[in-house]
Amino acid sequence: MSEKRIDTILRIIKEQGYVTVKYLCDELHYSTATINRDLNDLQKKKLITRHYGGAEIVKSKGTPLVFRYHKMRPVKRLLAKKAAELVKEGMTVFIDGSTTAQYIGQYIKDVKNLKVITNNLNLISYLSECGVKCICLGGDIIESPYITGGIDSAFQAKSYRADLAFLSTGGISADGKIFDGVYLDLHRVMIENSEKAVFLIDHKKLGVTGDRFLSDLSNIDILITDHKFGDDVKEKYKNTQFMEIETPKTQTD
Residue 69 pLDDT > 60: no
User: What percentage of residues in the chain have a pLDDT greater than 70?
Assistant: 91
Over range 54-64, report the average pLDDT.
Answer: 65
Question: What CATH number has the domain spanning 65-244?
Answer: 3.40.50.1360
Q: In this predicted structure, what is the pLDDT of residue 131? A: 96
Give the least confident one: 22-31, 177-186, 197-206, 230-239: 177-186
| Residues 228, 203: Cα–Cα separation, whole Å | 9
Torsion of CA 220, 221, 225, 229, to 10 degrees: 80
Q: In this predicted structure, what is the pLDDT of residue 16? A: 75
Phi, psi of 73 (to 5 degrees): -55, -45
Q: In this predicted structure, what is the pLDDT of residue 250? A: 45
Single-letter amino acid code for the residue at 227: H
More confident residue, 234 or 7: 234
Question: Structural domain boundaries of the chain?
Answer: 2-57, 65-244
Query: If you average pLDDT over each of 11-25, 43-57, 87-101, which comes out highest?
Result: 87-101
User: What percentage of residues in the chain have a pLDDT greater than 90?
Assistant: 60
| Residues 41, 49: Cα–Cα separation, whole Å | 11
Question: What CATH number has the domain spanning 2-57?
Answer: 1.10.10.10
Residue 57 pLDDT > 80: no
Q: What is the pTM of this model?
A: 0.73
Query: Tens digit of pLDDT for each residue in 10-48?
Result: 888 887 777 889 989 999 999 999 999 999 888 888 788
Q: CB under 8 Å to 72, separation ≥6 — which residues?
A: 202, 204, 253
